[in-house]
Chains A and B, each alone.
Chain A
Amino acid sequence: MSDMDARDDGRLDRSLSACYGDLAGAPVPVRLHGRIVRTIQARDARRASGHGLRRGLGRLAPAALAVVFVAAVAVAVLPWAQRGTIAPAGPTASATAGATGSATASATASATASRPPLATAVPPTAAPTAFPAGATRITAVNLGETWMTVTIGGNVVGQLACGETGTYAVTAYPSTVQVANDQGGASTVLVRHSAPMWWIYRPDGFTVAETAPPVNRDYAACPTPYAGSDPSGVVTWSFDYPTVTGTTADAAINSAISASAERWAGQLAGDLLTLRAARSTPTGTGSLTGYWAADTSIPGWLSISVSMNPTLDPAPVDGIPMWTADLVFDLSDGHQVGVDELFTKPADGLAVLSAQTRKLMGLTADGGIYAAATTPDALASAMWYPQCDGVRLVFADPVKASLPTASLYQTEVLIPWSALKSVLAADSPIHSVKRC
């Protein structure tokens, strides 16, 4: 290779690094986790339905049945065995930490049942952070997870319910610290700046390290269980929705969130009852599960992404996908923020949003089958969600509008910030989300 070629390759490599570097840190979209879980659950349900079960059982020889039994025992026993070995909470843990987990907040006492024993805590999967020399204690606060696990030196030293703060002493060096949600993950994108969160202190009390920018640490959005059924008891629902504490508009926000939960549970239960009634023999039960994710990463705003998963048993009906909704609240007064509030001039902004929506959805200029839903006026009340890479809009599928389950069919489009730059309000909180 000549010197010129080498120089060209060097320039090209730098360009490629810059090009790909923009993509490397892209956060996982808010709804993707729930979408995957629901897909797997739906596939499992279909496999477990009568046809698959009969076919599967017919093929099983007695010896194979014995293997299934052994595997089932393993499924029941191994998780406990594994947790016990990964997360020891013996004398070492308490001696190392000298833990003094103190609950300084009780925002979600009703949302958390009995505290699980430390031995069953799912250990963090994120890489541990080295403890700074000279630090003596760690303070951790859980602002959004059902449970948060704190690990020091590889040992689980405490579990904090949502809203709780715990302080733990560290006596052994070198040490590491990790925090995790109740599934072992460091956190989710949905609550990336709020939970888990921890600070490390030096003897003089000065904070020397923390995992996240000091934003929104003053309020929590904690999971609150919501369960119920329709009057006939045929359709039941059970899911958690977030309840906020610590804002100046807790009451207004929580009232709107709980009202939404009740409304959607009722509406989807009605849809399932309609589907059930349409069967040749109207039997079976319906259930609703949901995934409500609070994103507190935008100062001044709380964004909630909702995904509901309706099912109808036996023999789940194909084509009942997730049902989604987005809620964005202004923390100062609790009002629900419309997408038109993003723009300096709402009319101009909505016009640009409409044009971009139609372009990205591959529609004709007049919007085609989405004409009514994508007019500037209609977009003013559209479901939207602010993301790092743009505005996500959600639309009902007009082709299926005549079906009783029309609300279950939706499509999404992501409008990149770059396409809206000329019309975004300069003082909008949205400018902070663009940095995430």
Chain B
Amino acid sequence: MKLRGEVVDLSAVETMESFVHRVLPEAYRLATVMLRDPVGAEDVAHDAVVAAWERRASLRDPDALDAWFARIVANKCRDRLRDRSRHPIAELTPEAEPRGADTSTALADRDELGRALAALTPDEQIVLGLRFGRDLEVREIARRLGQPEGTIKSRLHLARLRLRGALAASRTRPEETR
């Protein structure tokens, strides 16, 4: 059982600015891979760090800071991804960009993959971000999100299935619809 004094210790010792300095890089990295959107990640990182600072007294085990914090970031990302699915943003296609090298197969594939990822559920996108963006194993993802390993495995499996289906469908479409 944790003593109350340990809670006071955590929140009292560290200044606000050093707390922000310490957790911000991880917040931004997590949000970037969960959202696949560096600009949106700024807002999420901002909101998550502010929320974490204001709720820091609720963290009973200082050793669990990373998991506690990852859940805050994931919750913020989930909200944003849900909002994005309700209000989709038009995809940027730079008008000035010349067609040629950048319309290579690799980039086209990347675009297809991006669209397929965006069609996944927020939870699936978050799990994929942690798996492939942060290179975390299933057990570690489960720990950080506070969910059973089986849930994470299931989400990864379903996400892969849906991605494969979406990519296969897009490749069978007529070329002009790309």
- Residues of A at the B interface (CB closer than 8 Å) are 8-9, 12-13, 15-21, 23-24, 26, 28-29, 32-33, 35-37, 39-41, 43, 71, 74-75, 78-79, 82, 122, 125, 183-185, 188, 352, 355-356, 359-360, 389, 414, 416, 418-423
State how many residues of chain B have any CB contact under 8 Å with chain A: 51
B39 contacts A414, CB within 8 Å?
A: yes
A184 contact from B18, B42, B163, B164, Cβ within 8 A: B18
A75 contacts B12, CB within 8 Å?
A: yes
User: Among A19, A122, A355, A416, which residue has the most Cβ atoms of chain B within 10 A?
Assistant: A19
B49 contacts A183, CB within 8 Å?
A: no
- Residues of B at the A interface (CB closer than 8 Å) are 8-9, 12-13, 15-18, 20-22, 24-25, 28-29, 32-33, 36, 38-39, 41-42, 45-46, 49-50, 53-54, 92, 94-98, 102, 109-110, 113-114, 117, 128-129, 131-135, 160, 163-164, 167
A419 contacts B21, CB within 8 Å?
A: no
Known: A19-B113, A24-B133, A356-B94. A37 touches B33 (CB 8 A): no
A33 contacts B97, CB within 8 Å?
A: no
- Closest Cβ of chain B to A86, distance in Å, is 10
A419 contacts B92, CB within 8 Å?
A: yes
A23 contacts B96, CB within 8 Å?
A: no
CB neighbours (8 Å) of B17 from chain A are: 37, 183
B18 contacts A183, CB within 8 Å?
A: yes
B132 contact from A8, A13, A29, A183, Cβ within 8 A: A13
Which secondary structure dominates chain A's binding surface?
Answer: helix
- Closest Cβ of chain A to B26, distance in Å, is 10
Which 9 interchain pairs have the tightest Cβ spacing? A419-B94, A20-B133, A352-B96, A20-B132, A16-B132, A75-B12, A28-B28, A78-B13, A422-B96
25 inter-chain pairs at a CB distance below 8 angstroms, sorted by A residue, are A8-B164, A9-B160, A13-B132, A16-B163, A20-B36, A20-B132, A20-B133, A24-B29, A24-B33, A24-B133, A24-B134, A24-B135, A26-B28, A33-B24, A36-B20, A36-B46, A40-B16, A40-B53, A71-B12, A188-B21, A359-B95, A414-B39, A416-B92, A419-B97, A421-B94
- Closest Cβ of chain B to A83, distance in Å, is 9
B36 contacts A419, CB within 8 Å?
A: no
User: Among A75, A78, A79, which residue has the most Cβ atoms of chain B within 10 A?
Assistant: A78
12 extra interface residue pairs, beta carbon distance < 8 Å, beyond A16-B128, A419-B94: A12-B164, A13-B132, A28-B25, A32-B46, A37-B16, A40-B50, A74-B12, A78-B13, A184-B21, A352-B95, A419-B92, A422-B97
CB neighbours (8 Å) of B33 from chain A are: 20, 23-24
Docked complex Cα distance between A75 and B57 (Å): 13
Docked complex Cα distance between A360 and B39 (Å): 11
B22 contacts A184, CB within 8 Å?
A: yes
- Closest Cβ of chain B to A389, distance in Å, is 6
